[in-house]
């Protein structure tokens, strides 16, 4: 019985340490702040990439307005999402990366967004991916589509 108690205590300690690491691990903007138009789509489970040239997801969505205006509206939508903070970039740069943390364990997802002018207004490309684990139950895809729907 004493051995079981020791193993349970060790297991709990490992779980607490991992949870702290997940919540407190630094997010390096040089690693996570990427241009979604230029990332190599590796078909990673838990990642969602929406840009021109990817037949599975269709073309990058188009919105009315200048890129800075579209990004300012998207930034407001992102910042209003619980658990989301800006990691790098700004709407005026037309390129922003956000960190979205899950409520329970604080697992970070990184969402990079870039906007550029096109003849129909502004095109937006988005790359949302997880840092820990290999599957996100569709959370990244759902978040991106929700943000874009709110933007429209």
Q: Write out pLDDT tens, residues 131-152.
A: 887 778 889 999 999 999 998 8
Crossing angle (nearest 10°) for helices 139-151 and 67-79: 130
Three-state secondary structure along the chain?
CHHHHHHHHHHHHHHHHHHHHHHHCCCCHHHHCCCCCCCCCCCCCCCEEECCCCCCCCCCCEECCCHHHHHHHHHHHHHCCCCEEEEEEEHHHCEEEEEEECCCCCCEEEEEEEEEEECCEEEEEEEEEECCCCCCCCHHHHHHHHHHHHHC
Predicted TM-score (pTM) of the model is 0.86
How many other β-carbons are positioned within 10 Å of the β-carbon of residue 101? 16
Q: How much is the mean pLDDT over the chain?
A: 89
Owning domain of residue 80: 28-151
The rounded percent of the chain whose pLDDT value lies above 70 is 94
* Residue 23 forms part of a structural domain: no
* Residue 22 forms part of a structural domain: no
* Residue 144 forms part of a structural domain: yes
Check whether 35 has a pLDDT greater than 70. yes
* Residue 14 forms part of a structural domain: no
Please report where in the chains the tokens 């589509």 appear, as a residue: 145
Specify the CATH number for the domain of residue 116: 3.30.310.80
3 against 84, higher pLDDT = 84
For the chain, the domain total comes to: 1
pLDDT in tens, 41-93: 666 777 888 888 766 666 788 999 999 999 999 999 999 999 999 999 999 99
């Amino acid at each position: 019985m004493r051995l079981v108690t020791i193993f349970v205590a060790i297991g709990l300690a490992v779980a607490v340490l991992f949870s702290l690491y997940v919540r407190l691990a630094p997010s390096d903007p040089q690693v996570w702040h990427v241009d979604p138009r230029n990332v190599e789509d590796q078909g990673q489970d838990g990642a969602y990439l929406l840009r021109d040239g990817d037949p599975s997801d269709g073309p990058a969505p188009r919105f009315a307005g200048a890129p800075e205006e579209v990004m300012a509206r998207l930034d407001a939508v992102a910042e209003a999402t619980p658990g989301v903070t800006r990691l790098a970039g700004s709407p005026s740069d037309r390129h922003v990366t956000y960190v979205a943390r899950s409520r329970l364990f604080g697992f970070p997802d990184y969402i990079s967004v870039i906007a550029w002018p096109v003849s129909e207004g502004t095109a937006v490309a988005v790359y949302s991916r997880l840092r820990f684990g290999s599957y996100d139950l569709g959370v990244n895809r759902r978040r991106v589509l929700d943000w874009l729907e709110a933007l429209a």
